[in-house]
């Protein structure tokens, strides 16, 4: 088996060396799995974070620094970890082996890409990988999305917001390995996840972005033109986000203008995705920009420019009367932004 894996790796490398056409591919092109007839699309929907609004590397650095500092100050991690800074080392979509503390790329056929396996910032050799996994193929049982401490699983880091988390994981593992400190990777993963989640759940991230959108939100000069063009061509627009109304408002005023609400037929904040797409029980409530006032009357129809909170996909389809076949939805998270067979 080891010889076969070595042979596979060698042939794979040779094939990559002969691929020249990929250098000519524009990474900003649109690649699709199924043909989409845009003349049939009447409704365009968008997530907010990393779809309408993209963020600068300053935000990744902020999340990394806040999480790193909290681990040192509150969890008593070694102070030397403060010497690590955020780098663009990792990419979204990588898998992290929670038991072994290894970061890697796994392809669509569950094969480990043999030149992508890292412990901290150290690239593992082919022999080391084969010794650990006894091959390059992973069973579907360990490629799960939910983590429980007793499982031997791979966590796929799908969210753009998790890039600082990947970097912090690698930084701590790198430090422990360099200094011969014994550690259990699952504990490091749990601590880092807790530290990063705190930045989000405490409201610190939102407050920071809203206090200085020019620093943290990437400018998108064509976004306003694109949205206005859709409206001018009689298309319906909606936005669904887990973020607060105030957070969305601050960002879209910066990106689109003070009249951004008039572009959207439906605006949904605090949607609680992915449950929004799966549960039929969520009900909408009208709210204001601050998100503090919530109307107590049932929502019977959607009003353009009005902000709503909560709800579910089934109720949205019912209230709008839109055909699911006529909706094209854009999101950045392949799991949280995908609906069930309803759409």
**Residue 267 and residue 299 in contact, taking contact as beta carbons nearer than 8 Å:** no
Phi and psi, residue 12, nearest 5° = -60, -40
Instruction: Compute how many other C-beta atoms are within 10 angstroms of the C-beta atom of residue 61.
Output: 15
Cβ-based neighbours of 59, under 8 Å, separated by 6 or more: 205, 208, 209, 216
Burial of 132 (0-12, 13-18, 19+ CB in 10 A): middle
Catalytic, 47? Answer yes
**Residue 314 and residue 275 in contact, taking contact as beta carbons nearer than 8 Å:** no
* 156 to 32, 124, 153, 299: CA distances (angstroms): 22, 19, 10, 37
Q: Which one of the listed residues 49, 191, 249, 265 is annotated catalytic?
A: 49
Long-range contacts of 27-36 (CB under 8 A, 24+ apart): 36/328
Q: Which one of the listed residues 29, 47, 107, 265 is annotated catalytic?
A: 47
Q: Rounded to an integer, what distance in angstroms lies between the CA atom of residue 164 and that of residue 86?
A: 7
In whole angstroms, what separates CA 112 from the centre of its chain? 21
Q: Which residues are catalytic?
A: 47, 49
């Amino acid at each position: 088996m080891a010889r076969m894996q070595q042979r596979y790796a060698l042939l794979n490398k040779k094939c990559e060396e002969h691929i020249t056409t990929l250098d000519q591919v524009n990474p900003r092109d649109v690649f699709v799995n199924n043909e989409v007839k845009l003349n049939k699309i009447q409704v365009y929907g968008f997530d907010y974070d990393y779809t309408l609004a993209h963020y600068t590397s300053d935000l990744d650095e902020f999340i990394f620094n806040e999480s790193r500092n909290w681990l040192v100050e509150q969890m008593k991690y070694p102070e030397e970890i403060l010497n690590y800074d955020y780098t663009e080392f990792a990419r979204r979509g990588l898998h992290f082996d929670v038991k072994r503390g290894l970061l890697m790329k796994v392809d669509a056929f569950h094969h480990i890409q043999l030149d992508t396996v890292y412990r901290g910032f150290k690239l593992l050799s082919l022999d080391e990988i084969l010794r650990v996994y006894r091959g390059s193929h992973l069973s579907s049982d360990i490629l799960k999305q939910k983590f429980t401490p007793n499982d031997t699983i791979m966590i796929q880091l799908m969210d753009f917001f998790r890039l600082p988390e990947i970097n912090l994981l690698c930084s701590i593992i790198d430090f422990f390995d360099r200094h011969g400190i014994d550690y259990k990777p699952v504990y490091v993963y749990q601590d880092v996840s807790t530290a990063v989640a705190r930045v989000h759940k405490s409201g610190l991230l939102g407050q920071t972005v809203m206090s200085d959108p020019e620093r943290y939100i990437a400018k998108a000069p064509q976004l306003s033109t694109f949205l206005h063009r859709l409206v001018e061509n009689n298309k319906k627009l909606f936005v669904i986000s887990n973020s607060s109304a105030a957070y969305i408002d601050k960002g879209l005023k910066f990106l689109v203008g003070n009249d951004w609400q008039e572009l959207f037929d439906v605006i949904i904040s605090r949607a609680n995705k992915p449950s929004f797409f799966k549960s039929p029980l969520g009900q909408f409530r009208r709210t204001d920009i601050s998100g503090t006032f919530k109307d107590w009357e049932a929502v019977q129809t959607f009003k353009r420019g009005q902000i709503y909170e909560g709800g579910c996909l089934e109720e949205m389809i019912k209230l709008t009367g839109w055909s699911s076949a006529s909706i094209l939805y854009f999101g950045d998270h392949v799991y949280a932004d995908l609906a069930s067979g309803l759409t």
